[in-house]
Chains A and B, each alone.
Chain A
Amino acid sequence: MNKLKEKPILIIGGGFSGISAALEITEASSKSVIVVEKNPYIGGRVLQMYKYFPKLCPSFCGFEINLRRIKSGDEGKIKFFVSSEIEEISEIQQKNSGEQETGNNVLSAEGKVSSLPADASSENRGSAAFNANVNGNGINVNVINGNGNGNGYKVKMRQKPQYVNDNCTICGECAKVCPENRLNDFNYNMDKQKAIYITNISAYPSKYTIDAEVCKFDSCKKCESVCRYNAINLNAEEEIFDIEAESIVVASGWKPYDAGKITNLGFGKYKNVITNVMMERLASDNGPTGGKILRPSDGKEVKNVAFVQCAGSRNENHLPYCSAICCLASLKQSIYLREKNPESNSTIFYIDIRTPGRYEKFYNRALSDEKTKFIKGIVANIFEDESSGDLFLEAEDILSGKKIKFRADMVVLAAGMVPNQPAIKTSNFKFDYDANGFLFSQNDNLGIFSAGVAKNPADVYSSVQASTGAALSVLQFSANKRG
């Protein structure tokens, strides 16, 4: 009975950090976790990267290991909800409030073990609907900061319609007949794909997705008729349901800073000014250019690339904090650019290069290349030469004390990381976000922990460490509560 009542751990975000935390928790204990991911696939930002620094190995390679761990673990201990977002979380107030005793309408992990991917079984749907009705009745809204009574949390979730079910074999017949196109957001809108699409080569759950904003549904239905596996149901509906969780790990990740806001750097105005995340897609073999670094305006192979550091970061007008990874990311990009296009020159404009600890080696590696130049001085202005599409960068070369005008084929802005801060309604407690939107304080009494960039700007390696830390905190919280 006790086991039945044990609530799962809620993990917000199915990126590298969230998955790592989920694995650490389930591998180290008998607990089960629920991972809520807003994208139709798990893996998050790392899947969009071309290579990791400092080893320059492919990013999905690192993520593959996690997928293996998921598959080799006890089935059902990790439950994924993809294409899902959390609407509301509230702290459960009183054990004897009656509402909480209705164990059977609560979607406990025990009752809900089902196979991956996100399930849409009828049983699930039924209980979800039931919970949606109950939701909100028994909650006392008088304690704003939460009292950490350890009763856990009630979570209201919304999953987008799952038009394609697990029968999908990713044969691709549907996309062939699909007449509509959408911008490929995985490639930062640099190319287009069909309205029924597979998000990326290592997509997990491995199935197609339909973009509801582009799909014509009833007036088309070509994909439905061509699918031989009965995997497409264009009448699928959105689902709202409640679950209960013992504690929460926030691993909601980040998005690149909107570089268009840095008006003096011309992103969005000049085609050949791109951001560092776009550079990753340009270099990727499965990216919009098939792995060739070609500049957007004319598809010319780039010869002379300027990397502009601190584009938004360390800037009180934009992001006051250092995003921690951009220096290393640009060094990495400079190194692989030089490898891919041996003719090319790379120039990095910086305030100071931040490569802590053993990463200094990586900096030295970039420094040792004679066609990589480092200029100390932030770029204040970028102008386009209209006829050639080339760009002029204006900066002060601090070391010589002179103003320079630098000409480049393409400019890569090292845009900073902005925490996602999912819009979750919380009625009787608060996520303790800091001024910049990071959830740095680990609120032990409340059982709310954070990992990855939701916690602080970090690279993958430190994110995984934070996830392990969060997993340990979750288990300690659970043990303290019981004891």
Chain B
Amino acid sequence: MSGNPLNSKGININGNDNNINNFELVKNIKNIGDSPFKKCFQCGTCSAICPLSSDNKPFPRKEMIWSQWGLKNELESDLDPWLCYYCGKCSEFCPRKADPGQLMMSLRRWLTTVYDWTGISRLLYKSKIAEYIALLSVAVIVFIEWAVLFGLTPPTGTGATVGNAMNGGDKIMTINQMVPAYKIDYFFDYPMIVILSALLLSFIFNMFKKTVLNDKNVKIPFKLYFTELWSLIFNFFTQIRFSKCEDEEAQKETFLKKLSEGKYNFWLTHVFLMTSYVALFIGIVVFLKWFQTDDKYVLFHTILFDYYASIGLIFGTIYFAYKRLTKKLERSKFSHHTDWAFIVLLFMTAFTGILLRAFVVYKDPSSWIFYLYLLHLMIVIPMLVIEVPFSKWSHLAYRPIAIYFAALKEKAEKLNGAGANAAAAAPVDDIKLGIDAD
């Protein structure tokens, strides 16, 4: 067939299941966010004004056209959406009001569904109802598990072991008597952590395959994986790229001035919330015994953990909810249902957690604790199971890993570039040799 080379490449005008120009994909990206990216006329304002994008491979102009054309391969192997922190400069200056910043957000949502081989996140992002059903079903599982393990009413002790039995008869038990921490560990925390880790790691491997392994242009030297590891850890904890979301003019100002002007508020709140979350996650899963204690006079490190994290979660979630409601920042103008689910669940987790803690400290023993604990678990476990691998929470993993992968590719390209220069001389020699041989 000596047809049109474009056709031989597989551009299908009728727009069905094609891997190069996927028109279904264009619709998907449109539905998953609020960006009118089809209005883009490729002037490049967005890439040029972006304070974060690199000089050699700037974004988001290329993502705009890839999305318009539904270039699935390009988009799947693209790490740049994760390198964007949505300062909104591109959207503010876009002459077509095509909102490139919002497109990058849509692409992050879409990429989450791409890395997820189970297909669950696609459902969650597609439909609000699916997300509610998913959260609810995990909550039901928790409920049943709890009912089997601990029953549906607070167990009552008959002995005079704890407290002074004024009523003589049934005695209310302390939290650890009702719900032993080791049982929570073995029946809730550990299975959950195993499942979540397995899922998330497999998704990350999927991401690695699509973005690094499938890229035939770059071969990463093995050593680099270790030498670049620091960037992963550093970026995970500092989210330093957030602070660079500013134009060149503003970058000349001192750190303290920018801090006092509130330019770092969003970033610092984000770091506060994230570290609180991570602290609490590790604390609860690994050191549950510290928290679930009958001792009213807890140890110093527990207080530090507890208070830092509680304040971080409550303050952070309220801050971001406020930003999303007032819609003043570019990045807070549009909220997908998964964004709201994340904030609301996190707030409710923190709220019920603090309430539980308060009851333990001031009211223990109390039958309230039993129900509160159940409620708390019915919120926190669905949140973790659904949000961590399948939804918005996953960005906590994907962002630093994307920076890590991008750093790997960039370094490797530099090394290869140096190699290619050396190799460029080689063919000449080969030809010479060939002539000589003749």
Contact = CB atoms under 8 A, between A and B. Distances in A.
B247 A381 contact: yes
A403 B41 contact: no
Contacts of B96: 316
Interface in A356-403: 376-381, 383, 394-398, 401-403
Interface majority SS (helix, strand, loop, mixed), chain B: loop
A380 B48 CA distance: 6
B157 interface: no
Contacts of B43: 310, 351, 377-378, 398
A404 B56 CA distance: 9
Nearest to B53: A403
A271 to B, nearest CB: 17
Contact of A396 (B58, B95, B247): B58
A397 B93 CA distance: 17
A315 interface: yes
A398 B55 contact: no
B61 A398 contact: yes
A317 interface: yes
Contacts of B41: 314, 351
B176 interface: no
Given A351-B43, A377-B44, A401 B58 contact: yes
A441 interface: no
A398 to B, nearest CB: 5
Interface majority SS (helix, strand, loop, mixed), chain A: strand
B160 to A, nearest CB: 77
A264 interface: yes
Nearest to B41: A351
B63 to A, nearest CB: 12
A40 to B, nearest CB: 37
A259 to B, nearest CB: 15
Nearest to B98: A316
Chain B CB count within 10 A is highest, among A264, A378, A395, A397, for A378
B257 interface: no
Interface in B308-340: none
B314 to A, nearest CB: 38
Nearest to A318: B95
B241 interface: no
Contact-residue size bin, chain B (C-beta under 8 Å from the other chain): 20 to 34
Interface residues of A, number: 24
B61 A396 contact: yes
B411 interface: no
Given A351-B43, A380-B49, A381-B49, A402 B56 contact: yes
Interface in A265-321: 310, 314-318
Given A401-B62, A402-B58, A310 B49 contact: no
A212 B215 CA distance: 72
B98 to A, nearest CB: 9
A314 B47 CA distance: 18
Contacts of B49: 264, 380-381, 394
B24 interface: no
B56 A378 contact: no
Contact of A378 (B48, B97, B249): B48
Chain A CB count within 10 A is highest, among B43, B55, B247, for B43
Nearest to A400: B56
Contacts of B56: 402-403
B44 A395 contact: yes
Nearest to A401: B62
B36 to A, nearest CB: 11
Contact of B55 (A315, A317, A383, A403): A403
B95 A378 contact: yes
A178 B57 CA distance: 61
B89 to A, nearest CB: 9
B40 to A, nearest CB: 11
A316 B95 contact: yes
A49 to B, nearest CB: 27
B48 A396 contact: yes
A401 B48 contact: no
Contacts of B247: 381
A351 B94 CA distance: 13
Contacts of A395: 44, 48
Contacts of B46: 380
Interface in B378-400: none
Contact of B42 (A315, A379, A380, A398): A398
B410 interface: no
Given A381-B49, A383-B248, A401 B95 contact: no
A394 to B, nearest CB: 5
Contacts of B94: 316
B45 interface: yes
Contacts of B249: 383
Contacts of B42: 351, 398
Contacts of A380: 44-49, 93
B47 A396 contact: yes
A394 B48 contact: yes
Contacts of A317: 93, 95, 97
6 contacts: A315-B95, A316-B94, A378-B43, A378-B48, A380-B44, A396-B44
Given A317-B97, A403-B53, 14 more contacts: A264-B93, A317-B93, A317-B95, A378-B43, A380-B45, A380-B46, A380-B93, A381-B49, A383-B249, A395-B48, A396-B44, A398-B61, A403-B54, A404-B55
Interface of B: 41-49, 53-58, 61-62, 93-97, 247-249
Q: Which 8 A-B pairs have the closest CB atoms?
A: A380-B48, A396-B44, A315-B95, A380-B49, A396-B47, A378-B43, A377-B44, A403-B55
